[in-house]
Chain A
Amino acid sequence: MQTRSWLWDSGFALFAWGCSLALVGVVFIILGFLVVKGFHTLTPTLIVGDTPFWEALLLKRQVFDGLFPAIVGTLCLILLAMVFALPLGLFTGIFLAEYASFRVKWVFSIVFDILAGIPSIVVGLFGFSVTLFLHHYFFAQLFPCLLISALSLAFLVLPYMIRTTQMALESLPLGVRMTAIGLGATKFQNIIYVLLPASISAIVSGIILSIGRCAEDTAVIMLTGAVATAGIPRSLFSSFEALPFYIYYISSQYADQSELMKGYGACLVLIFICMILFVLAHLIKTKVSQKLMYRS
């Protein structure tokens, strides 16, 4: 009996160790591969091509050979998408946490789970077909563009915003939630003056995660306005470049080795951006739990 359980125990530990080492190995191979291949491209030339650095940054001269337009495009996308998703998601989350009855909450949360599960390409397809539909029947000048992409991305990250807001508000302790009400505040005053400020860190962390989602998505923007070369987006209704799309495009359309190398560099830049956002969100979340610990 003693040896039998020892065998199981060792087998169990061995399996867990083996899987963990395999996973770590795979991650290091993937990242290491990119670093090894692309590290030497990490120079200002990667970003701004032949154009002088500051002139490109201040938009005085166009950049033809660098990632700068793609980075700007991604930033514009993130900004626009959050302009749409933030209020909509915030308000919906507030409604679910504070105003909805149990049954309504249950039904709505199933709907939003479904929204969260919709594949991103389907959201892109929706954006594209709405555009085409509007183009056909109403606005002949409307084509897939920055605005459409941003709206579609907003639909993509909407469920994250809703869920984060709802959970942030619902996890506030009863004391915090009821104090202002007990002093005569209306529900709305309670939300604005007490609940939102108390849960701001959790919500901000959710915002940052949504931003990360916007930065990395390719499928949606592929169908709604991202192209390989468009420069800095001129208006809301123009096509644009984006970093993840650039990577996808380069992987199949690279003309020579130097272009491929730029692809590796772009991968590293994108990973860098996503990691910064992740670490930021993590730090804010940890600050929350520390604050809660000190409070109790």
Chain B
Amino acid sequence: MDVKKIPKFIFLGASLLSVGITLAILGFMVVLAYPIFSQGMFWDMLIQPWSPGQGLFGIGPMIVGTMSIALLAVGVSFPLCCGVACFVGVLHPRGKGKMLKGLVESMTAIPTVIYGFVGIFLLVPLVRGLFSQGSGMCILSAGMMLGVLISPTMILFFSQSFSLVPLGYLNAADALGATTAQKFFYIILPCAWKSMVSGLILSFGRAMGDTLIALMISGNAVGFPGSILDSARTLTAHIGLIIAADFDSIEFKTLFVCGICLYAMTGIGVILVRLLAGKGRG
């Protein structure tokens, strides 16, 4: 009898280990950021500027940097992805659309460091030349490149949402003489919008969590950015840059605060998506 239970315990053990790792990642950061919590500095840190000379180790500018680049990326990418998803899912589901979908799928294999590399040597000089202000390494460049990075996943997500609309509805609309645009706006969109919002949230999370593009293209200045042509630093790039500091210093501790912020942001995104999906089931 006992022998039969062994596999179950092995599999259960593996699962618990996996869950444990997820929680440990958060736990480790909370524990290591403890000195900051104990001195009551956590919430202040989220809004203060970064100015070590004045003893200020706030990650406010980094939060603003992350949000603005991610928002720009999603803002640029969303309409584009809607258009491509319509092409692939609604207008030309066979033939041309299939080819384009294949191209989009293969785009998901392109590493982010490649986008960063091309960004530095192609996009940044372009922006620098166009806007003869600043070095070209700014929120605009990083946002645009990040938009390209997150597009393939968003497109595939959207076109999958479109394909889940029941065939009966589409047949009814066709038989009643609806044009393609009418079919999309009156039938497909109302059915698929919840799923599309989930995709949007997940892509936003992905944009917030990317490191290389921001690190390579956004300039990494520590001040609060004033415009999209300003250089900015994201939470992720900050971690990559400060990692060389002394382990016991306050600067190093701020990295864990960054980590907690990122963990929390993406975690909230996941929960939001779940809530959205849950409501749909009713």
Which residues of chain A have a CB within 8 Å of any CB of chain B? 5-6, 8-9, 11-13, 15-20, 22-24, 26-27, 29-30, 33-34, 37, 87-89, 91-92, 94-96, 98-100, 108, 110-115, 117-126, 128-130, 132-133, 136, 155, 158, 162, 186-188, 191, 212, 215-219, 222-223, 244, 247-248, 251-252, 263, 267, 270-271, 274-275, 277-279, 282
Is the Cβ of B109 less than 8 Å from the Cβ of A120? no
A-B contact count (CB 8 A): 245
Is the Cβ of B270 less than 8 Å from the Cβ of A117? yes
Is the Cβ of A26 less than 8 Å from the Cβ of B18? no
Which residues of chain B have a CB within 8 Å of any CB of chain A? 4, 7-8, 10-15, 17-19, 21-25, 28-29, 32, 79-84, 86-88, 90-91, 100, 103-118, 120-122, 148, 151, 155, 179-182, 184, 202, 205, 208-212, 215-216, 236, 239-240, 243, 247, 255-256, 259, 262-263, 266-267, 269-271, 273-274
Q: Which of A12, A26, A122, A128 contacts B262 (CB 8 A)?
A: A122
Residues from chain A with a CB closer than 8 A to the CB of B122 are 29-30, 33
Q: How far is the CB of A33 from chain B (nearest CB, A)?
A: 5
Q: Which of A95, A222, A270 contacts B240 (CB 8 A)?
A: A222
Is the Cβ of A95 less than 8 Å from the Cβ of B11? yes
Is the Cβ of B239 less than 8 Å from the Cβ of A121? yes
Residues from chain B with a CB closer than 8 A to the CB of A275 are 106, 109
Pick the 10 closest A-B CB pairs, nearest first.
A19-B83, A119-B209, A216-B111, A91-B14, A95-B11, A12-B181, A278-B109, A117-B266, A219-B211, A16-B87
Q: Which of B7, B22, B29 contacts A111 (CB 8 A)?
A: B22
Residues from chain A with a CB closer than 8 A to the CB of B87 are 16-17, 19-20
Residues from chain A with a CB closer than 8 A to the CB of B239 are 121-122, 124-125, 223
* Docked CA distance A212–B107 (Å): 13
Q: How far is the CB of A115 from chain B (nearest CB, A)?
A: 4
Is the Cβ of A267 less than 8 Å from the Cβ of B112? no
* Docked CA distance A125–B103 (Å): 34
State the majority secondary structure of interface residues on A: helix
The answer to whether A15 and B18 touch (CB under 8 A), given A34-B114, A223-B243, A248-B113, is no
Residues from chain A with a CB closer than 8 A to the CB of B112 are 216, 218
Q: How far is the CB of A251 from chain B (nearest CB, A)?
A: 5
Q: How far is the CB of A39 from chain B (nearest CB, A)?
A: 15
Q: Which of B107, B184, B263, B270 contacts A113 (CB 8 A)?
A: B270
Residues from chain B with a CB closer than 8 A to the CB of A136 are 247
Known: A16-B83, A19-B80. 4 other contacts (CB 8 A): A23-B84, A95-B8, A114-B22, A216-B112
Q: How far is the CB of B27 from chain A (nearest CB, A)?
A: 10
* Docked CA distance A132–B29 (Å): 13
Q: How far is the CB of A220 from chain B (nearest CB, A)?
A: 9
The residue in chain A whose Cβ has the minimal distance to the Cβ of B27 is A126
Q: Which of B8, B84, B110 contacts A271 (CB 8 A)?
A: B110
Q: How far is the CB of A216 from chain B (nearest CB, A)?
A: 3
Is the Cβ of A128 less than 8 Å from the Cβ of B240? no
Is the Cβ of B209 less than 8 Å from the Cβ of A120? yes
Is the Cβ of A88 less than 8 Å from the Cβ of B114? no
Is the Cβ of B11 less than 8 Å from the Cβ of A92? yes
Residues from chain B with a CB closer than 8 A to the CB of A186 are 4
